Chain A
Amino acid sequence: MEYTGMVHALEEIHRLLKQAGKLIDIHPVAEPSPIEIHLGEKIERVGDLSVRQWCSDYQHADEALTEIKQRGLFMIEREGMFNSLTYYDSAAEMRTDWKAAIDKFARDAQSIAESVPQAEAMAARAEELMQAAGSGAELIVGERVHISRLKPI
């Protein structure tokens, strides 16, 4: 979503909410996602996935929330962070998931040109490490997520 679209969506939410209503926003923070392979106690680091378009969108989400607070539409009552983990059965499954997400969210050719080779390389490395780890290994992609509760003013 473009920055102006985010601000417009928040304005619309302000209109749709009752006076005593609440908005709960959950979105990832703009930082690379660590990829790991877990087998029992052993943890093998595959690398970090960083898609420029995603990080840019997450940054814009933070800025849009800041703008609507500054304009006096909402105030934050509470906020926090947590880790969101996505488990994949195989590197192939992860590659398919990323490809769909990159195709969907990358809005300019430069972003795709940067992101697809990086995601492919990361998936290939994950595949090698998964095969070496043997059966029972879990492929996990982490995301740091920001959650906030806001009330309309």
Chain B
Amino acid sequence: MPYWIWRILADSMCWRSVAATGACVTWLYADKAAHVTAIDPSAKLITLARQELPSHLQDHVEFHNATFEDFATASKPSAFDIVILSWSLC
């Protein structure tokens, strides 16, 4: 992954809220945010993500087994600092 994306992650300790698809890679950036909302329509990948998430990050991440569309419909506007689409826009 390019250097600049890691710089964003490293410099973003002020993130309060992140919405992210591709839950299985959540652990890569979960410690850079106060709170991560991880969304994936696959229950299998959510289970895998829970298993791979280090114990010290458990309180940072809230997993949602849902499509992004369903999640977005139920969400309030202007709620997130960062949205990460990981292999999701296809």
A81 to B1, CA, bound (A): 8
Residues of chain B with a CB closer than 8 A to A132's CB: none
Contact A24–B89 (Cβ < 8 Å) = no
B82 an interface residue at 8 Å Cβ cutoff? yes
Is B78 a contact partner of A27 (Cβ separation < 8 A)? no
Inter-chain contact count A-B, CB under 8 Å?
95
Question: What residue of chain A has the Cβ atom nearest to residue B85's Cβ?
Answer: A25
B69 at interface (Cβ–Cβ under 8 A)? yes
Seen from chain B, the residues whose Cβ lies within 8 Å of a Cβ on chain A are 1-2, 4-5, 8, 19, 22, 68-69, 72-73, 75, 77-90
Q: Which residues of A contact B (CB under 8 A)?
A: 1, 5-6, 8-10, 12-13, 15-28, 54, 57-58, 60-61, 64-65, 78, 80-82, 147, 149
The answer to whether B2 touches A18, judged by C-beta atoms less than 8 angstroms apart, is: no
Q: Evaluate contact between B2 and A82: CB separation under 8 angstroms.
A: yes
Contact present for A24 and B82 (CB under 8 Å)? yes
Q: Which residues on the B side are within 8 Å of A65 (C-beta)?
A: 89
Once bound together, how far apart are the Cα atoms of A65 and B78, in whole Å?
Answer: 20
Q: Let me know if B90 and A18 touch, CB within 8 A.
A: no
CB distance from A99 to the nearest CB of B (A): 15
Pick from B1, B68, B80, B82: contact of A9, CB below 8 A.
Answer: B68
